[in-house]
């Protein structure tokens, strides 16, 4: 599985740490679309880069990080085909995969500690979508963009 990861200046250190966590997985490759320095950037630009990699099929999933995770998750969810889940703990990270088939995990670098973030990422990359009644609901979510 290929995962694209990106952040703004509010989550640069968290992004670099998560890349170390993802390196534990031999079956995961990671593409980092920035930002790479502490200079201020606009998180919607990073969201677009992350989502373009997913909608083009270059990456299967994404991890999107900003100060709170709020802005970048809002931006990601403007892109058709993206289901970005702003998660705050292992439970929500797990549910975002099992029930929502989230293809982007969003977190806040000024909100989540490194330890919890590592556990959330390990769970999120491993969990599968459960389908069934959840597929019906996810299908309805995705159909909203066509209305
Ligand atoms: O939802 C937005 C994010 O939390 C941004 O990371 C935040 O607004 C950036 O703030 P600043 O420009 O003060 O670093």
- Tell me the pLDDT tens digit for each residue of 82-116: 999 999 999 999 999 999 999 999 999 999 999 99
121: part of which helix (H) or strand (E)?
Answer: helix 114-126
Per-residue pLDDT at 74? 98
Residue nearest to atom 14 of ligand 1 (CA): 10
Q: What is the pLDDT of residues 20-69, one digit of tens each?
A: 999 999 999 999 999 999 999 999 999 999 999 999 999 999 999 999 99
Cα(48) to centroid of ligand 1, in Å?
16
Question: Between the CA atoms of 139, 130, 3 and 72, what dihedral angle is there, to the nearest 10 degrees?
Answer: 50
| Ligand 1, CB within 6 Å, residue ranges | 8-10, 40, 43, 66-68, 70-71
- Catalytic status, residue 99: yes
Total number of residues shown for the chain: 147
Of 66, 74, 75, 71, which is closest to residue 108 (Cα–Cα)?
Answer: 66
Per-residue pLDDT at 143? 96
Mean pLDDT of the region 122-137: 98
Neighbours of 80 (CB within 10 A): 11
Q: Using CA atoms, how far apart are residues 46 and 42, in angstroms rounded to an integer?
A: 7
User: How far lies 104's CA from each of 38, 39, 40, 108, 133, in Å?
Assistant: 23, 24, 23, 13, 21
Catalytic one of 7, 51, 66, 76 = 66
Per-residue pLDDT at 104? 99
Hey, where are the domains in the chain?
2-144
Q: Using CA atoms, how far apart are residues 43 and 15, in angstroms rounded to an integer?
A: 13
Token pair recorded at residue 66? 């900003």
Q: Which residue has the tokens 């990456």?
A: 59
Per-residue pLDDT at 136? 98
Per-residue pLDDT at 130? 98
- Catalytic status, residue 87: no
In DSSP terms, 29 is beta-bridged to: 2
Residue 17: pLDDT band (50, 70, 90) is very high
Domain covering 2-144 in this structure, CATH number: 3.40.1400.10
Peptide bond preceding 35 in cis form (omega within 30 of 0): yes
Residue nearest to atom 3 of ligand 1 (CA): 67
Residue 117: pLDDT band (50, 70, 90) is very high
Q: Using CA atoms, how far apart are residues 106 and 70, in angstroms rounded to an integer?
A: 8
Cα(56) to centroid of ligand 1, in Å?
27
């Amino acid at each position: 599985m290929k995962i694209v990861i990106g952040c703004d200046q509010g989550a640069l250190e968290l992004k670099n740490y998560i890349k170390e966590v993802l390196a534990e997985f031999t079956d995961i490759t990671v593409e980092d679309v920035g930002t790479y320095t502490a200079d201020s950037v606009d998180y919607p630009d990073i969201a677009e880069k992350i989502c373009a990699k997913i909608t083009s099929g270059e990456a299967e999933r994404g991890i999107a990080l900003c100060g709170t995770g709020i802005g970048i998750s809002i931006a990601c969810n403007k892109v058709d085909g993206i289901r970005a889940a702003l998660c705050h703990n292992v439970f929500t990270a797990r549910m975002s995969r099992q029930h929502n088939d989230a293809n982007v995990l969003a977190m806040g670098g000024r909100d989540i500690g490194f330890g919890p973030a590592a556990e959330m990422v390990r769970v999120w990359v491993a969990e599968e979508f459960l389908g069934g009644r959840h597929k019906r609901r996810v299908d309805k979510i995705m159909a909203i963009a066509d209305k």
